[in-house]
Amino acid sequence: MTLLWPSFLLLLGLIPVLIGIYIWMLRRRRRFAVRFSSLSLVRDALPHHSRLRRHLPFALFSLALTSLILALVRPVTITSIPTNQTTIILAMDVSGSMRFRDIQPSRLAAAESAALNFIQHQKATTQIGLVAFSGFAELIQPPTTDQSALENAVESLTTGRMTAIGSGILESIDAISQIDKLVAPSVTDSSTGVAPTPVPHGAYVPDIIVLLTDGVSNFGPLPLDAAQQAADRGIRVYTIGFGTEKGPQLGQGSEPFGGGGGIFGGQGGGRFRAGIDEDTLKQIASQTGGTYYSASSASELEKVFNSLPTYMITRHETTEISVLFAAIGALLAAAAVVLSMMWHPLP
C-alpha cells in the first residue's frame, strides 16, 4: 500500500493528546466526586460492565478519528495485471565510438545483430520502436509490430558525434506517449508541457526502454534527470553497457578525440570501465525499476537481449481505498454517538 499524501499522518499525533485529555477529565471528575459525595460504596456495587459502557463510546470515537485521518493520506493499492499490449523502445547509442572494432566486425554491427535477433524473437503483439542517439536523439522507427520495417530501421543506423544519453531517454518517453495515452510526453526547458503527477512508487506501465550505450553522456540533458521523468511515468529503463574491458587499441578503428563516448569521451575525468559510465547506467536502472546489464562481446550482448524480461511485463493498476477508511470512520463515529446516547442520555 502506498500513501499519496503521507504528510497528513502527522494528524495521528492528535489521538494520544485526545486520550490524555480524556484521562485528565476522568481523574478530575473522580476528585470532585470524592470531595462532595459519599457514594463510593454505591460505585463499587455497580456491575463491571458499567466501565465498558463508560469508556467504549470514547474508544470508538478515537478509532473513528484514526480511520478518518488514514482516509486523508489517500492510501492506494497496486495490483499487477498481465498484459499482451507491450511497447518496447530500443534506444541505441550511435556515437562515433560505436565504430570501434574491438568487437568484431564493429560495436555497431554487433549491436545491430543482437537487436535484430531480439526483434525476431518477440511476440507478434509486441510493439517495438527504435530511437538512435549521438549528440541528439531521433525516433528512427515508431513502435510497430512490423518486423520488416524494424529490421530495415536497425540496418539503416549510422554514427554521429557526441553522446546524449538523456536525450535518448526523453525521446523514448515521447515515442511511448504516442502509443500509450496514459503516459505523458517528456518535459524540457523548451517545451510548454506540465510535468505529470508521479505514479505511486512501485507502479509501472507495460512499456519499457532498453538503452544500449558504449560511452559516457557528454551532451544534452542529464541522464538522471531524464531517468526521473521515466520513473515519474512508471516506465522501466533497462540499461546495457557495451564494450570490452580494455577498450579498443590503436588500429582497431579508434578515434582518440572523436566519437563522444569512447576511451576519452565524457566529462569530469571519472573512472569508467572501458569508457562506460556504469555508475550512471546502474542508477538509471535502479531509479526506474529496471536492471543494468554488462556485455563485452557480441555473444554476451545477444544473451543480455535474450534475458530481458519482455515476456513477464505487467501493467500496474492503482486503486485508491481512502473511501473505505472514510466509511469505517463514519460507522465507528455513528456507533460511538448512538451508544453514548443510549448509555448516557442527556438530562
Domain ranges of the chain: 2-78+320-343, 84-312
C-alpha cell at 136: 541528439
Dist. CA 224–CA 256, nearest whole Å: 27
Provide CATH code, domain 84-312: 3.40.50.410
What SS3 class is residue 86?
coil
User: Whats the size of the chain, residue-wise?
Assistant: 347
Q: Check if the beta carbon of residue 53 is closer than 8 Å to that of residue 47.
A: no
Which pLDDT score is estimated for 72?
A: 83
Residue type, 133: F
Which pLDDT score is estimated for 256?
A: 40
Which pLDDT score is estimated for 82?
A: 60
Dist. CA 304–CA 282, nearest whole Å: 15
Which pLDDT score is estimated for 40?
A: 54
237 Cβ contact partners less than 8 Å away, ≥ 6 residues apart: 169, 208, 209, 211, 227, 230, 284, 285, 287, 288, 290
Dist. CA 322–CA 108, nearest whole Å: 52
Dist. CA 54–CA 216, nearest whole Å: 70
Q: What is the pLDDT along the chain (347 residues), one digit of tens a residue?
A: 677 778 888 888 888 888 888 788 877 766 555 454 555 544 555 555 566 777 788 888 889 888 888 888 888 776 666 666 789 999 999 999 999 988 989 999 999 999 999 999 888 888 999 999 999 999 999 999 999 999 999 999 999 999 999 999 999 999 999 998 889 999 987 666 677 888 877 778 889 999 999 989 999 999 999 999 999 999 999 999 998 877 665 445 544 434 444 433 333 333 444 578 999 999 999 999 999 999 999 999 999 999 988 765 656 566 777 888 888 888 888 888 888 777 766 55
Nearest CA-CA partner of 72 in 10, 16, 15: 10
Which pLDDT score is estimated for 221?
A: 94
Dist. CA 15–CA 175, nearest whole Å: 49
Instruction: Please state whether the predicted TM-score (pTM) of the whole model is above 0.75.
Output: no
Tell me the HSE value of 192 on the side-chain side, using a 13 A CA sphere: 0
Which pLDDT score is estimated for 312?
A: 54
Q: Check if the beta carbon of residue 91 is closer than 8 Å to that of residue 211.
A: yes
What SS3 class is residue 273?
strand
